[in-house]
Structure 1
Amino acid sequence: MTTNRKAVAVYGATGHTGKFVIGELLRRGLAVVAVGRDISRMPAGVTARLAGIDDAAALDRAFAGCSVVINCAGPFLDTVAPIVEAALRAGSAYLDVTAEQASALSTFERYDRRARDTGVAVIPAAGFYGGLADLLASAPVCQRPAEDMTVAIALDHWWPTEGTRKTGERNRVPRVVVENGNLVPMAVPAAKTAWTFDAPHGVQEMEAMPFSEIITISRHLQVRNLRAYLNASSLNEIRDATTPAPVAVDTQGRSAQKFAMEVVARDSSGTRRALAQGQDIYAVTAPLVVEAAARMLQPSFHRSGALALGDAFDAEDFLRSFKPEHLTFQLNAT
């Protein structure tokens, strides 16, 4: 989309998602600085810089000259604060791909004013969890005030990465939903329901499992009640310690995993739906966050503060940039 040669720093460059992100940046001709703790594991063909999250001076050196910093290193409860702080010191915009509600909420609450004062945008949860649902909810068909909104996700498998395992162990913060316009703790035990998706997923048994989309959507859209569900079969897989990590099956390095995400908004005027389908939730995070970074590099981008993905950009135009290579989507009202 752009030939702007200002560099994009990727923290967590050696991780599963970080490698996808760097690959997508290179595919789009953007200058990349790979940042992490182990220089020997950095991908070939890019500038590499060494920095730990506990070394502010090293982070300052790593992000020097970079216009955008993308944080792919979880658990984000531990990495966001030092990396956002360093990005702001460098005058760089910031993106991350957290699914962690507490991390996204903290970013909005702690860094909105400082990002505005610095004149940069800080966008948490710009990946599959958080960002994609926020874009679907922000598309014109869904974005007007809603009495009720539901996010439903189906994965035919969830083969977790090492980072996902570590985040699950670290993130014990109670999950929240929106009731009567307020963030409140999710009821325990988690509610269960059934949901009918398009093929290949069909009818799925679902369990309440809100991720960072609750935080991003409620940040900028008027929704009285907001909840999210994930299909029970994928939850059973990720809760099983013997479930293997994802294995690449194509030239892009994607696993065979298929996903569907549906956002349904209801009010007195009827029901509106936005649906996205694609392959590999980790891989699809890369075009999502890289598209955001590329747009932030454009001279026409003037937003600042802590923003959700669907608030920072035209949601439908953003989604259309992914068809058909990365995902497909549908928007309709009944």
Structure 2
Amino acid sequence: MTSSSKPLAVYGATGHTGAFVVAEARRRRLPVVAVGRDISSVPAGVTARTAAIDDPAALDRAFADCAVVINCAGPFLDTAAPIVEAALRAGCAYLDVTAEQASALSTFEQFDERARAAGVAVIPAAGFYGGLADLLASALIGSRSVDEVTIAVALDHWWPTKGTRNTGERNRAPRVVIKNGNLVPMATPATKTDWTFESPHGVQAMEETPLSEIITISRHLHVCNVSAYLNIASLDELRDDATPVPAAIDIDGRSAQQFVMEVVARDGAHSSRAVARGQDIYAVTAPLVVEAAARILQPSFHRSGALALGEAFDPENFLRSFKPEHMTFGLNII
């Protein structure tokens, strides 16, 4: 069982997302240990420990007195397994923020039984991609069975981090979707469609882009078909090598990027919709994953095994924990 007196370890703490996660943990006055290969830029007052991904002994020392490990270092195809292994050796719960389908699926398949035996939770894809859509879909569907879920995301800009670009170069695994209740390869070329969002995004040309939410939803929700789309304008920026990295515009270090995520569940003639809006997909990952870690630290949390975010926690209650400056959401359940 975890204890609230033990710290969170953030691996990749000096990366773009990792820095947001450390700051959010500090804002919530949770004890935090920053871990990584290079800890020279860790903020003053934060405990820092050096550990390379290929050094199991150093990872063991870094996580030895911790309760939860949050992995923010991609590509997760390379980092997830060694960090989960080290977390299990230390008796820690594990969270990561991967958008990579292959990494999330591998974590579920490889570590569920061992996490149950160790009595700890292992939760991959607990960030903007993967976790947020899973929470919204879980709040809509609950234990019902539905015919179809469609996820649509629009970003007014996508200024990718170096880590995002590195992950894109590393991750060449074929994308999968859910059809007839099974994970199957996405049809190529990718389906394109239009989607009408509320202002300021409006009508957007979209391209099918399934990410780790397909894997998380497949683990615990009863949905026959699931597809996911991103607006083409943001994908064009992501694919352009000249697109700059995110630039901070406020005291929290967030970029000006505005996002909207819609999840629509259809069952026969009935449909339900959930919508989340906010600023900066990298920054909003921090309250998502830190909220999960904080809940794991509560004495009342007793879940174990490899779990999706919406499976591990009450999804609507989890979503309602967010402050408006982080994210707003709405549900229209029919």
Q: Is TM (by shorter chain) over 0.5?
A: yes
Instruction: Report what 2:234 is aligned to.
Output: 234
For 1:204 and 1:190, how far apart are their aligned partners in 2? 16
For 1:117 and 1:163, how far apart are their aligned partners in 2? 33
How far is the alpha carbon of 1:324 from its aligned partner? 1.2
How far is the alpha carbon of 1:42 from its aligned partner? 2.3
Instruction: Report what 2:277 is aligned to.
Output: 277
For 2:28 and 2:49, how far apart are their aligned partners in 1? 21
Instruction: Report what 1:161 is aligned to.
Output: 161
Instruction: Report what 1:197 is aligned to.
Output: 197
Instruction: Report what 1:172 is aligned to.
Output: 172
Instruction: Report what 1:49 is aligned to.
Output: 49
Give yes or no for the alignment of 1:84 onto 2:69. no
For 1:127 and 1:115, how far apart are their aligned partners in 2? 20
For 1:269 and 1:207, how far apart are their aligned partners in 2? 25
For 2:44 and 2:227, how far apart are their aligned partners in 1? 42
Give yes or no for the alignment of 1:37 onto 2:25. no
Deviations 1:189-246 (A, max 9, x none): 1000000111110100000000000000111000100000000000000000000000
Counting only pairs closer than 5 Å after superposition, residues 45-194 of structure 1 correspond to structure 2 as 45-140=45-140, 144-194=144-194
Distance 1:256 1:143, change over 3 A: farther
8 A contact 2:140–2:272 mirrored in 1: no
Give 2:185's aligned amino acid.
P
For 2:173 and 2:190, how far apart are their aligned partners in 1? 15
8 A contact 1:141–1:273 mirrored in 2: no
Identity score, percent? 75
For 1:55 and 1:141, how far apart are their aligned partners in 2? 42
How far is the alpha carbon of 1:291 from its aligned partner? 0.1
Give 2:123's aligned amino acid.
I
How far is the alpha carbon of 1:6 from its aligned partner? 1.4
For 2:128 and 2:143, how far apart are their aligned partners in 1? 19
Instruction: Report what 2:261 is aligned to.
Output: 261
Distance 1:263 1:143, change over 3 A: farther
8 A contact 2:140–2:333 mirrored in 1: no
Deviates more, 1:263-272 or 1:86-95: 263-272
8 A contact 1:272–1:332 mirrored in 2: yes
8 A contact 1:87–1:93 mirrored in 2: yes
For 2:163 and 2:43, how far apart are their aligned partners in 1? 18
Give 1:82's aligned amino acid.
P
SS at match of 2:67: strand
Distance 1:224 1:245, change over 3 A: same
Give 2:15's aligned amino acid.
G
How far is the alpha carbon of 1:45 from its aligned partner? 1.3
How far is the alpha carbon of 1:40 from its aligned partner? 1.7
In the superposition, the TM-score normalised over structure 1's length comes to 0.98
Unaligned 5+ segments in structure 1 are: none
SS at match of 1:177: strand
How far is the alpha carbon of 1:44 from its aligned partner? 2.0
Give 2:50's aligned amino acid.
L
Aligned residue pairs total 332
For 1:28 and 1:41, how far apart are their aligned partners in 2? 21
For 1:211 and 1:143, how far apart are their aligned partners in 2? 23
For 1:88 and 1:4, how far apart are their aligned partners in 2? 18
